[in-house]
Amino acid sequence: MIYHRLADYYDQLMDFDYEAFLAVWQSLTDFEGQDIFEYGCGTGNMTARLLPLVRSIDAADASPDMLMLARQKIQSPKLRFFLVDEDFSIAKTYDKICLFVDVVNYLPPSQFKHLLERWEHNLHPGGEILFDVSSEDKLSRVLGDQIYRYDIPEGEIYWINDYDETTKRLDFSLVIYLEQADETFLREEEYHTQYVYTADDIERLAKNYDITARLTPERDYYSLRKKK
């Protein structure tokens, strides 16, 4: 998942209650004084909310456009940003590795499995991997084959969904129309895919971890701790 031109409008499109989301995680685990690696930090919405709680955050994303916005939004001696690709490796160890707000849904299962295998060696004793996923019901029924339209000052954006029941994946395009000085519109488009992850999928992919889960109708929350 790499947002390019649409990165400028990401925060406008995300109708998401980050405060409530953080409260759920705080009911499940403790962030106080910990060293955090955040993968898929995006424009830094969760990074900013975690920062007052933790000792340090290394925040990474594959989109240079998203990272640029995050750097503009947040600055702190406790925080470092990194641009990464899918083959990146971590040199440090952390108390928590976090993938928040659907990051895992954007990862093909083979890539997620590979990351879990790598990250076994990047957790402090007792450390955990935290992530959430949009549920199968949300991807298939709520988003499904829906089309959403958003007005922006410069024009409009269309979010067009196409869910495949056989492959359990949601392909979607984000189409932006930007009004030009001559009253014509410039059209730009990005394509993305989200994958369904059920509780059985997580159990299969995270065999080397003890799994704690909180499952809700639209969002599932997971904590993975390396087995002793």
**From 44-53, 110-119, 151-160, 206-215, the region with the lowest mean pLDDT:** 151-160
Q: Are residues 71 and 121 in the same domain?
A: yes
Q: 91 and 24 share a domain?
A: yes
Helix (H) or strand (E) holding 66: helix 64-73
We report the CATH number of the domain holding residue 18 as 3.40.50.150
For residue 104, the enclosing domain spans 5-134+197-226
Please indicate, yes or no, whether residues 33 and 95 belong to a single structural domain of this protein: yes
The pLDDT of 112-128, averaged and rounded, is: 95
What would the mean pLDDT of 63-68 be, rounded to a whole number? Answer: 91
pLDDT above 70 for 226: yes
* Whether 111 and 173 share a structural domain: no
Average pLDDT over residues 166-188: 91
Q: What is the pLDDT of residue 5?
A: 57
Average pLDDT on 154-164 reads: 93
**Number of compact structural domains in the chain:** 2
Q: Percent of the chain at pLDDT above 90? A: 79
Q: Residue 19: phi, psi to the nearest 5?
A: -65, -45
Same domain (yes/no): 83, 165: no
pLDDT at 2: 45
pLDDT surpassing 80 at residue 88? yes
**pLDDT at residue 154 greater than cutoff 90:** no
Residue 61 CA, distance from chain mean position? 9
Residue 157 maps to which CATH number? Answer: 2.20.25.110
> d(Cα 9, Cα 4) in Å, to the nearest integer?
10
pLDDT tens track for 1-54 = 444 556 667 666 777 899 999 999 999 999 999 999 999 999 999 999 999 999
Q: How far is CA 226 from CA 30, 185, 223, in A?
A: 17, 52, 10
DSSP code at position 101: S
Q: Would you state the structure tokens that stand for residue 50, as one six-digit string?
A: 């975690």
In terms of domains, do 74 and 186 share one?
A: no
Identity of residue 4: H
Asked if 178 and 202 sit in the same domain, the reply is no
Give residue 147's pLDDT band: very low, low, confident or very high (50, 70, 90): very high
